[in-house]
Amino acid sequence: METLQQLGLFFGQTLIIVLAIVAIILTIASATLKNKMGKAFEVEIINDKIDEQKEALNSIIMTEDDFKKEKKRLKKEAKDENKNPKKFSYLIDFLKGDVEASAVDHLKEEINAVLTVAKKDDEVILRIESPGGVVHGYGLAAAQILRLREAGLQVTVCVDKVAASGGYLMSCVAHKIIASPFAIIGSIGVVAQVPNFNKLLKKHDVEYKEYTAGDYKRTVSIFGEITEKGEAKFREQLEVTHLLFKGFVGRYRPQLNMEKVATGEYWYGETALELNLVDKIQTSDDYILNKTKTHNVLKVSCEKKPTLSDKISGALSKSVSLTIDKLVRELGTKKQNLEIGNN
């Protein structure tokens, strides 16, 4: 009986939570639906962020008089800067480099925005983090960055953790590559992995047929028998891809000894510098902090906004999960108390 009461209480609480969530979401629905692109475009002034942090620290470590003097000095400095405004640098992040290079969609939008306002010789700083992935995805990402270079902008790539394979394909387009001491750089090579279950199918008397038109429409497959001819063609295609990779990198990094670095190996920052894979050892934070002394650094970001259905399903799932957890804990506590009482 008590359990039924608890279940009734559970469903009652859940219904109340659901109704409350729906009411809240409906109030913001009209604003959400106005964004037809479904993306949030934001510009953050990095200089202002740094100034706010500096002011917060100064308010603690300085005396009250010194803090007032410092604020006056900064105010005067800001007025002088308005008379002789700083140049602009644009910061774009590509920090979620998955296998499919799916972040290239956001990268495209961010580059489109920068190209509408940037002046020739302005700098674009790209922070890249990716271990690589599919050739066509990262080839497109590199082509997007190349648009900046072809527009006459200075392109600087900063790598704090990893820019390997497709990640390096993107990075090599820049005029300058900066890496942290232990960033993973390189991996100029091509890899393909194809599991094959043909022998397993034969063992269990499963017949698999594949129909193609063209000798090399399917060279190797998961279920079909891999022939010497098909495997040889597949290897040839890998070699062609590798040649294209090396040619692309060599076009923008002619100082590289391609025979030495295009082996598929990767190196850490310091060694990568010796091999001319990068131009400087420094963290992106340090580079950007120094840049704010001479430039206004604007971080440009464009990310997909969650849809109304995403918000509703996420909120409902979370509320139901929390309510169930609460009910389980309460029932567990009552059971434990009952067992103690029986003892």
Q: What DSSP line would sit under 137-151, residue for residue?
A: HHHHHHHHHHHHHHT
Would residue 165 show up in a list of annotated catalytic residues for this protein? Answer: yes
Asked whether the beta carbons of 333 and 9 are under 8 A apart, the reply is no
As given in the structure block, the two tokens for residue 124 are 């674009």
Q: How confident is the model at residue 261 (pLDDT cuts 50, 70, 90)?
A: very high
As given in the structure block, the two tokens for residue 32 are 């959400």
- Tell whether the model's pLDDT for residue 337 goes beyond 50: yes
Active-site choice (130, 165, 171, 187):
165
Question: 17: which residues sit within 8 A by CB, 6+ positions away?
Answer: 319, 320, 323
Asked whether the beta carbons of 195 and 222 are under 8 A apart, the reply is yes
Active-site choice (79, 217, 293, 309):
217
Q: Please indicate, yes or no, whether the overall pTM of this predicted structure exceeds 0.85.
A: no
Which amino acid is it at 145? I
Q: What DSSP line would sit under 254-300, residue for residue?
A: TTS-HHHH-SS-EEEHHHHHHTTS-SEE--HHHHHHHHTTTEEEEEE
Q: What is the C-alpha to C-alpha distance for residues 273 and 279, in angstroms, rounded to an integer?
A: 6
Would residue 217 show up in a list of annotated catalytic residues for this protein? Answer: yes
* Span 283-296, pLDDT tens digits: 999 999 999 999 99
Q: How confident is the model at residue 77 (pLDDT cuts 50, 70, 90)?
A: confident
Q: How confident is the model at residue 230 (pLDDT cuts 50, 70, 90)?
A: confident
Strands laid side by side in the 162-164 sheet = 162-164, 184-186, 266-268
- Tell whether the model's pLDDT for residue 278 goes beyond 70: yes
- Tell whether the model's pLDDT for residue 90 goes beyond 90: yes
As given in the structure block, the two tokens for residue 266 are 């990767």
pLDDT for 260: 95
- Tell whether the model's pLDDT for residue 184 goes beyond 90: yes
- Tell whether the model's pLDDT for residue 35 goes beyond 60: no
pLDDT for 6: 54
Question: 337: which residues sit within 8 A by CB, 6+ positions away?
Answer: none
pLDDT for 37: 47
Lowest model confidence (mean pLDDT) among 7-11, 263-267, 292-296, 323-327: 7-11
Mean pLDDT for the stretch of residues 248-272 = 96
Q: What is the C-alpha to C-alpha distance for residues 12 and 9, in angstroms, rounded to an integer?
A: 5
Find the Cα–Cα–Cα–Cα dihedral 147, 43, 46, 304, rounded to 10°: -80
Domain residue ranges of the chain, discontinuous segments joined by +: 39-79+88-187+265-304, 188-252
Question: 100: which residues sit within 8 A by CB, 6+ positions away?
Answer: 133, 134, 137
Question: 147: which residues sit within 8 A by CB, 6+ positions away?
Answer: 111, 115
pLDDT for 200: 86
Give the chain's mean pLDDT.
83
- On the 0-12 / 13-18 / 19+ scale of CB atoms within 10 A, 221 is middle
Lowest model confidence (mean pLDDT) among 2-6, 101-105, 303-307: 2-6
Mean pLDDT for the stretch of residues 78-88 = 76
* Span 234-243, pLDDT tens digits: 889 999 999 9
pLDDT for 338: 52
- Tell whether the model's pLDDT for residue 22 goes beyond 70: no
Tell me which of 3.40.50.1360, 3.40.630.30, 3.90.980.10, 3.90.226.10 is the CATH number of domain 39-79+88-187+265-304.
3.90.226.10
Of all residues in the chain, the percent with pLDDT exceeding 90 is 52
As given in the structure block, the two tokens for residue 302 are 């464009």
* 227 DSSP assignment: P
Give the closest residue to 319 by CA, choosing from 3, 15, 26: 15
pLDDT for 17: 55
Residue 157, phi then psi, degrees to nearest 5: -105, 135
Q: Which region holds residue 71: left if phi is over 0, alpha if psi is between -120 and 50, else beta?
A: alpha
pLDDT for 318: 64
pLDDT for 151: 95
* Span 39-60, pLDDT tens digits: 688 999 999 999 899 889 989 9
pLDDT for 321: 62
- Tell whether the model's pLDDT for residue 28 goes beyond 60: no
